[in-house]
Amino acid sequence: MNPPPTEELHERLYRAGVIAVLILDDVDVAVPVAKALVAGGVDAMELTLRTPVALECLRRIRKEVPEMTAGVGTILTTGQVNEVVEAGAAFGVAPGMNPRTVAEAARLGLPFAPGICTPTDIELAVEAGCKLLKFFPAEPCGGLNYLKSISAPFAHLGVRYIPLGGVAQDNLETWLNEPVIHAVGGSWLAPKDLIQAGDWAAITARAAAARATVNKVRGEWE
């Protein structure tokens, strides 16, 4: 299956509001984690390529939890772009702005969000045709006030951001209230300890809390 068109994917992520960011070491937990997130109202996730089983996890989720919009993060090379497209990723994410990787994603039709933390990063990303960018690491880089400052010169271009790094339930509403924020990356939704414990109910509860915040800020979708 080909990735969704970029505009369609962007609409899905905006409606999701929160994207669960996961590092999975065991393929057998992929489907239970995805189902737990969906049960709480979070239907978008980024599986990071930090473990050798990430792409197999993606394949299982695509097959068994089709309502989950599953993308892949930590894409660092053009070869990985090809691998994630072959595995059926809905979108790709990178920690930085690599022009070659972005160009390969565009060639293959993979919606892609490169990482930025400076005005130069944003300028390079816009030149490469990207309008949805990952702000990483968000809080260590200066948080929302810093992003508002560096994003201002590009606001008229319609550039939007997904912050990740230091974002959690207690500051989620503040981030979502900023107009340039498209969605928020959430590693707190399914942390390693809850996954290892198989505590799917706790993950569902965290997802439900995040979903409630998204609905509070943006309203509920029909």
Answer yes or no: are the C-beta atoms of 198 and 172 closer than 8 Å.
no
Mutual angle of helices 54-64 and 30-40, in 10-degree steps:
50
Is residue 110 within a helix (H) or strand (E), and if so which, with residue range? none
Number of residues written out for the chain? 222
Average pLDDT (104-121) is 97
Beta strand ranges found along 23-176 (DSSP E): 44-48, 69-73, 92-93, 112-113, 115-116, 132-135, 160-163
Per-residue pLDDT tens digits for 138-174:
999 999 999 999 999 999 999 999 999 999 999 999 9
Each residue's pLDDT tens digit, 41-95: 999 999 999 999 999 999 999 999 999 999 999 999 999 999 999 999 999 999 9
Q: Which residues are catalytic?
A: 46, 134
Q: What is the DSSP letter of 102?
A: H
Tokens for 96, please give them. 């930085």
> Which DSSP string do the residues of 3-46 spell out, in sequence order?
PPPHHHHHHHHHHH-EEEEE--S-GGGHHHHHHHHHHHT--EEE
Q: In what order do the strands lie in the sheet with 44-48?
A: 112-113, 92-93, 69-73, 44-48, 18-22, 184-186
Say how far apart CA 48 and CA 27 lie, in whole Å. 13
Which pLDDT belongs to residue 221? Answer: 65
Note whether 160 and 181 are within 8 A (CB).
yes
Binned at pLDDT 50, 70 and 90, residue 201 comes out as: very high
